[in-house]
Structure 1
Amino acid sequence: MTQGRKEKSRKEVLKLPPIDAHKPKVERRPASRRGLRGMERIYELAQPKDSKCIWLTSFGPNMSWGNQEPMWPIAQATLNANSTTRLVSLSEPKKNFQERLNRPEFVNSCGRGSVILEVSPGATKASASERVSTLAGHKQPPQAFKEDRPEHTFSCGRESPIWLVNEAAKRAPDRERIESLAQTKALHRNFLPAREIETKVTKAAMSTSATPRLEMLSRPKSRPEGPFRDSMWPVSKSARHATATPRQMELAKTKSVSDGYLPARTIQWPVSKAARKAMATPRTDELSRPIIRATMDHVQFNPDAFIVSEAAKKARCPPRIEELAQPIQR
């Protein structure tokens, strides 16, 4: 009976639909896989994947990829047809007008041919003509160009005037204060550099032997093997009839809240009728008015934004500011 079931299931797997001119060849699988065991299951798994489109909605003929066969068979009349005069003329290769020159061609990735010529010795020793020298010259600035312009325009449209430094300022000697400010920040007197990651072990430490005290300390902690007390033990009658003392009752009380404690307020609460009918005072109206500032058009394109006054250029630092500018002595 088991052999008969195997043969029946094998026939169901190998069963094919009738061949039709409009239907591709599709193998049918059993509706249920519970009856497949052993070789029948392996044979069912070895079948190729079925197409998800049926013959009514499939597009094109049933074809397998990877071979050189055409999608549709070529008619015999097409195979025996002769080419026309136009096709013969179009099939002729392009005429080579440089038959005497054998130039190597290197094809780029896009498929275009790039001809690379070898430079002749005469071209390497030739001198450039006047026209070539003129074309090789760099672009000249216009006549109205000024190299040292007093104003430099930023991308935001604001202009910052940069004035020239006179010769007296360039030749002025350095003051003691300027030299002290120009000094780099010194390290703290207690500063220690970073320690190396690797520590060198001395030969004495490598050849030494452990003392009895170190050997005793290196031993693992010894614990008794047992027997230990059971997880359940009898409780005495006096312990069962004992009563808690006043101190124990006081300690057993939960912690109470402090005097004056108010619980958390609810998220929603009713608004009183007086609050709904209240009117704002003139002072509240005055404070609620927004601050009116100048527009960015006037602030951003201010031509005098970076101009330093003459008094600020000639100002001298007072002794108090010089005292505050001194670095902290550590």
Structure 2
Amino acid sequence: MSAGYHFSIKMSMCFSPLASTVSMATRTQQLAQPKANRLRYPDRRSVHWLDKLPPERTGSTTKIELSHLWSDLCRSKKFHTQVTISPIWKVSERALRAVASERLRSLAQPRAPAAGWQPARPLLAPLSRGTQTAVATSRICQLAQPKRRQVLEGSGHKSKPVPVTHLPSKASAHIELLATPKHNHPKFKGERPVCWPVSRAARNYTASQRLLDLSSPKDRKAPFEGYDPYVVSRIARSAGPSPRIQQLCLPLPRKCSSK
């Protein structure tokens, strides 16, 4: 190492305590200065000013200064007028003399429909000659007739079944059986009337004590009403502890001191 380097290290070691002493003195003088009195204005109305009194108000209202953002927002929007271009424009000479390639010609061809595609059927398809000259059979005429509902003469009497119309001779026995409407059950009494007479026994019946007890509402008591916590029941007074309880009542052997 050079001699100049050793000399600089020695000089720095000599002057470092002096520099630290100067800095300490400056810090001590700074801390020794008294703090500024922030309460020298006793009539202060705001905490935002500390060094001077607020300016006095001359007007009756407060003047609001808008920021640049608020000023920009208050301005009306500018509608940009777009120049409409005519749908007809001039075609260049190069475009007029251009020749389409094979690829462009293939793309310009319309797409062919699918293999199984058929055109849409008309809403009203024409009827065939056979459909127009068809004659309905007796069964179709029978099914076309409206159903005949059975009318009940009285609520408490049996309903009178409507006579079945005679089927044509061509109908089989099975079709005749299926076409016959179902009859009501022999014990069917019809709908029960809304008001019916009450029997004499029901009117003269006297309720028993059990029915009276069941019909009376339950007595609701407040929690702990009539409860005495100091009363000991007879069963608790005559009860005896079990061997397990007597064993648990004894102290632990390790805690018992031998005398």
Between structure 1 and structure 2, the one with the greater Rg is 2
TM-score for both structures, normalised by structure 2? 0.26
